Amino acid sequence: MSGTQFLELDGGAARIAYRHTHGAGPAIVFLPGYMSDMAGGKATALFQEAQEHGRACLLLDYSGCGQSSGEFADGTLSKWRDEVLALIKAKLDGPVLLVGSSMGGWLMLLVAEQLGARLAGVVGIAAAPDFTRWGYSDAQRAQLAAGQTVFEDNPYGPEPTPTYAGFYADAETLMRLESEVSITCPVHLLHGQRDADVPWETSLELAEALRSDAVKVTLIKDGDHRLSRDQDIAMLKDAIASFY
């Protein structure tokens, strides 16, 4: 992808791919979903929009995804959170606007909690916090707890979607819907009501859990999980524009 750069972490043991456009803040940081990367439609559209409006924007591939080094099987929320925070520290100054899609919506909460006064806002797209609790059957959770890998049908590609025991074990320590989420900045959650992967009620649960009183939830009655249609992208751009 044109404009891709790399940040070396852990003394060069890891290379995290990213794209960065300079501009006015708050700087948009887009966090893709599970097994997704910065080449996706929403990420690309937001980056182009940021360039056109002179806004700062940062995209990235988690380790084991896209153009970053590493194996996906070694990825965890904690590891990816720390990569995002390292990139923000290295490449951005000033306030940050986190935008998280699906699993990225869980990750954005974990990153947001670490940003303190730099956090300007949060935008969730079919946010999926705690999905290892509600997204698997009891039998699958037992498999994961026993150290096994769970494979599921993948509606977006030919290969099954794996969930690894290491990811699951780490996620079990990072549940956020079971107590108050200590985020006080403005939040806008977008969710399609025809989402077959993440129940739209999850965004309502998250809105209730957030400490912030400045929380807006937009439900798209005919929207699916991806929310990548032209009208969905336009709605996402409008949501982000409201923070400027």
Q: What DSSP letter does each residue of 37-100 carry, written as one string? A: -TTSHHHHHHHHHHHHHTEEEEEE--TTSTTSSS-GGG--HHHHHHHHHHHHHHH--S-EEEEE
15, β-bridge pairs: 8
The pLDDT of 145-153, averaged and rounded, is 96
Identify whether 225 is a catalytic site residue: yes
Side chain identity, residue 218: T
pLDDT at 163: 98
pLDDT at 155: 79
pLDDT band of residue 156 (cuts 50, 70, 90) is confident
CA dihedral 233, 88, 131, 208 (to 10 degrees): -80
Of all residues in the chain, the percent with pLDDT exceeding 90 is 94
Separation CA 76–CA 84 (nearest Å): 12
Give the active site residue among 37, 61, 130, 195: 195
pLDDT at 110: 98
Q: What's the pLDDT tens digit per position in 5-62?
A: 999 998 888 999 999 999 998 999 999 999 999 999 999 999 999 999 999 999 999 9
Separation CA 150–CA 239 (nearest Å): 35
Separation CA 26–CA 118 (nearest Å): 9
pLDDT at 210: 98
Q: In terms of pLDDT, which residue wins out, 104 or 156?
A: 104
Q: Would you state the structure tokens that stand for residue 11, as one six-digit string?
A: 């003394």
Identify whether 102 is a catalytic site residue: yes
- Counting Cβ atoms within 10 Å, is residue 50 exposed (0-12), middle (13-18) or buried (19+)? buried
* pLDDT surpassing 80 at residue 157: no
Separation CA 46–CA 244 (nearest Å): 14
* pLDDT surpassing 80 at residue 1: no
From the list 103, 95, 96, 155, the residue with the least C-alpha distance to 125 is 103
CATH number at residue 140: 3.40.50.1820
Q: What's the pLDDT tens digit per position in 205-237?
A: 999 999 999 999 999 999 999 999 999 999 999
Give the active site residue among 68, 102, 188, 232: 102
Contact, 1 vs 19, CB < 8 A? yes
Structural domain range at position 211: 5-241
Contact, 127 vs 189, CB < 8 A? yes
Contact, 16 vs 87, CB < 8 A? yes
pLDDT at 2: 56
pLDDT band of residue 139 (cuts 50, 70, 90) is very high
* pLDDT surpassing 80 at residue 194: yes
The pLDDT of 232-244, averaged and rounded, is 97
3-state secondary structure 115-159: HHHHEEEEEEECCCCCHHHHCCCHHHHHHHHCCCCEEECCCCCCC
Identify whether 195 is a catalytic site residue: yes
pLDDT at 83: 98
Q: Per the structure, how many domains does the chain have?
A: 1
